[in-house]
Amino acid sequence: MKILGHIHCFNSENVIDRSLQAFLDQERKLDHIVLVDNGSTDTTLEREFPDCVTVLHNEINGGTSGGIITGMKYAIENDFDWIWVMDHDSAPEPDALKKLVELYERLDPEEQKKVWLVSSIPMEVPKEAVVTPFSVTLTSNAEKEGFKPRHAVYFHEKGYTRVEPDPDKTWYEFDSTIWSGSLYKVEAIKDVGLPEADYFLDWGEYVYGYLGKQKGYKAIMNLESRNNHNVGAGSSFSFTTYKWGPIKFKMIELPAIRCYYVVRNTLYFWWHVYPYKNIYTLAPRIYKIVMLTANFLLRPFTRFNELTACWRGIVHALENKMYKRHKSWYLEKIR
């Protein structure tokens, strides 16, 4: 079993050493590692990389989807059997890959043919954890919060549901999960096809999992294989607290680029791709999009960029213009 480790990155100077070291520390050694850089403008690539690492530099930022497509093409062209995808801010535990391989090898041969994806469980690092280039230390508050698993989803006629695992089992089947920690079978990638580049950011991995399901493949989440996720890079999603007299309330903050792709990609998938169109599949997504847009509409002058990104995302999704990309309507204000 020839396995390629893949890390996609963009301006990752503060986190890339830890993610790469986590790959190098795996008990089940990777056969090679490919680092796909999406046009970084910082010092991400200004360091010495081991001989087992190939750096592929994309001059144009193709987003998460574009970076993963580059890595998957490399896996296909160089005859790898599997590709283990990892975000730049993830750090799998040393035994993570070993446990994925062991779980797959325990399956009978007929079941192995059906499985195209074996994933480590993403464990969200607590917000108050102390993160250094090579370690994560939990403060007393972070220990109380603990690492939180982000479970996968399965699709059905009413949309999708997040899996609630059986506490007595160490793995479960699912349809879609995040890219990071996912071990894909290369032969299945050839059959399903490469991910769609137009998703750029957000929802691309869920769409790809759905396409694998449509092809009849199975995916397995190994709860004993842990991938520490969002380590040090910080979340783009946050809240701002406002006070109006005695009343305090919070409003969502999300960069304009994420507003555009979250709105456009979500609406496009459920409106144009998903075969079951009913109140259960459409109403919750439309409600969330409306609420996100209204969140910025209430602050039209200070959040104009985010507001117009949401609006353009809605229009482009309904017009089936997935080839469009986010463009700032004025220079991004740094906050």
pLDDT in tens, 47-91: 899 999 999 998 888 899 999 999 999 999 999 999 999 999 999
| Number of domains forming the structure of the chain | 2
Average pLDDT over residues 29-43: 93
Q: Does residue 233 register a pLDDT over 70?
A: no
Average pLDDT over residues 115-123: 97
Domain encompassing residue 271: 238-318
Average pLDDT over residues 146-153: 90
| DSSP structure string for 302-332 | TTHHHHHHHHHHHHHHHTT-TT-----SSPP
Residue 333 lies in a domain: no
Cα gap 214→56, rounded to integer Å: 31
Cα gap 304→309, rounded to integer Å: 8
Average pLDDT over residues 271-282: 96
Residues 296 and 314 in one domain: yes
Nearest to 36 by CA among 99, 86, 79: 86
Residue 327 lies in a domain: no
- pLDDT given for residue 235 in this prediction: 66
Residues 214 and 245 in one domain: no
Query: What confidence tens digit (pLDDT) does each residue in 163-177 have?
Result: 999 999 999 999 999
- pLDDT given for residue 128 in this prediction: 47
Residues 197 and 225 in one domain: yes
Residues 259 and 139 in one domain: no
- Please give the backbone phi and psi of residue 119, each rounded to the nearest 5 degrees, phi first: -120, 145
Query: What confidence tens digit (pLDDT) does each residue in 289-317 have?
Result: 999 999 999 999 999 999 999 999 999 99
Average pLDDT over residues 146-152: 89
Residues 103 and 202 in one domain: yes
Q: Under DSSP, is residue 202 helix (H, G, I), strand (E, B) or coil?
A: coil
